[in-house]
């Protein structure tokens, strides 16, 4: 008899899901992009905005390297994450001087909070995915527990 883990349909749909928590990351790549064009629910053209797509390596609780992406869209009220990522990577001074650019952030290390959310696929099935909920401020007196011994 084979010694295997019995996967339920729920297990299979949620494979690779990481527990909510704070994780140490390294920025591997940043791509400058534009948001997609299209039609909104009222039939109007969607405006196109500048954005960045960020590729991260991070280490899970077992020390395995994982990958995740995050996006920051440069529209009023949506680009707050840029300040937070500048803070956690030690580049808040450049952000506040308005001189921060993508190349300043490559290979830098910081901490983010991962969470899970349920999404609906095009075929109507639902599954959970991880997403970057927030970045942990370096300058904060935040009492959140950060494990600085996470392997890197």
Q: How far apart are the first and last CA of the chain?
A: 39
Q: What is the mean pLDDT of residues 21-37?
A: 95
The residue ranking higher by pLDDT, 19 or 10, is: 19
- Classify residue 102 by its DSSP letter: G
- Tell me the β-bridge partners of 67: 57
Residues 60, 66: Cα–Cα separation, whole Å:
7
> Which segment of 90-99, 107-116, 122-131 scores lowest on mean pLDDT?
122-131
Whether 148 shows a pLDDT value over 80: the answer reads no
Is the separation of the CB atoms in 149 and 23 below 8 Å? no
Whether 84 shows a pLDDT value over 80: the answer reads yes
Q: Which of 45, 36, 34, 135 is nearest to 90 (CA)?
A: 135
pTM, to two decimals: 0.80
pLDDT tier, 130 (very low <50, low <70, confident <90, very high otherwise): very high
Q: Give residues with Cβ within 8 angstroms of 151, minimum separation 6.
A: 59, 63
Q: What is the mean pLDDT of residues 98-125?
A: 93
152: which 2 tokens? 């890197």
Residues 111, 148: Cα–Cα separation, whole Å:
10
């Amino acid at each position: 008899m084979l010694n295997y883990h019995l996967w339920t349909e729920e297990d299979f749909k949620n494979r690779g899901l990481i527990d909510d928590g704070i994780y140490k990351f390294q920025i591997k790549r940043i791509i400058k992009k534009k948001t997609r064009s299209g039609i909104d629910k009222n039939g109007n053209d969607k405006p196109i905005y500048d954005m960045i797509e960020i590729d991260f390596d991070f280490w899970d609780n077992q020390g395995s390297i994982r990958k995740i992406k995050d996006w920051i869209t440069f529209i009023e009220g949506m680009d707050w994450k840029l300040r937070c990522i500048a803070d956690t990577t030690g580049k808040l001074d450049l952000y506040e001087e308005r001189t921060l650019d993508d190349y300043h952030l490559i290979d830098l290390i910081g901490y983010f909070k991962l969470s899970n959310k349920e999404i609906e696929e095009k075929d109507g099935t639902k599954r959970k995915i991880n997403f970057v909920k927030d970045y942990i401020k370096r300058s904060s007196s935040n009492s959140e527990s950060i494990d600085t011994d996470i392997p890197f």
